[in-house]
Amino acid sequence: MRKQSSYLKISLIVLCVIALVTLLCSLGFWQLSRAKEKETLLKQFQEAKTQQVLPQAVLIQERDPQALRYQWVSLQGHFINERTILLDNITNNGLPGYYVLVPFSLDADHIILVNRGWVPLGKSRQQIPVPEPVKGEVTIEGYLDFAYRNPLIEQALETDSIQWPLRMQKLDMPLIEQLTGKKTNKMLVILQNSAYAFEAPKRPQEAMPPSRHRGYAFQWFSLAALLVILSLLSAYHFKGKAKHEHTS
């Protein structure tokens, strides 16, 4: 009975070790995958910088968003300041705040959201900041990126009440089209080199670099290897102890 109980404990320990090693290795491979994705994005961003600036008319046409990502654009028109959107849950150097997204008129029927940058939350969530508007016809430059998504957030709005500036938890393009009454491009313009910009969002090369992901992968693999070594040493010690008890 005692031998059977000991065998059961050993089996449970072995299963736990296998599960932990599998988990640690999975995390390591996931970090390597993230590093490869970051390298691809950085390469795409650098290549886009060497290409010609896209004309405004391109944004009115139906194009593949993936092909447009990180392409630079020069736009002439005006901001629709009265429809400013504050994208919630954006941190900058550990501080909570918003991205200021303002519709920009491409023509009479089409708009694209322009990210003017980050602004701090303020003293409380009850005091919604009102960004300084950009008036009149202007020319702006920036690069295109996907609309921000957060799979953990289901509802775009906290309440059914529509008040401007509109605080959104995630971007809902059909809702934005409904509220503005204009066809909205699926991409965003990340405003660059402009007096109209607040604190700029991080560019791809400023986010976590591929080398850091590889460093994290090395840590996970090292932990997995250490766990295997410790398990083997423990098994060797247990076997030696059992043999000694058997002979004595």
Confidence (pLDDT) at 55: 85
Pick from 149, 166, 150: nearest CA to 86: 166
Please, what is the Cα angle at 101 between 96 and 104, to 5 degrees? 170
pTM over 0.75: no
Segments forming the whole domain that contains residue 20: 2-40+210-247
Domain assignment of residue 140, yes or no: yes
Identify whether residues 33 and 88 lie together within a single domain: no
Q: Does 216 lie in the same domain as 181?
A: no
Does residue 78 share a domain with residue 176? yes
- Spatial distance between the Cα atoms of 119 and 125, rounded to a whole number of angstroms: 13
Q: What pLDDT digit, counting tens, does each position of 135-187 carry?
A: 999 999 999 998 877 777 878 887 888 889 999 998 989 999 999 999 999 99
Number of domains in the chain: 2
Regions in the chain scoring below 50 on pLDDT: none
**Shared-domain flag, residues 214 and 170:** no
**Is 46 inside a domain boundary?**
no
Q: Are residues 129 and 194 in the same domain?
A: yes
Note whether 123 and 95 are within 8 A (CB): no
Q: How many Å apart are CA 9 and CA 2, to the nearest integer?
A: 11
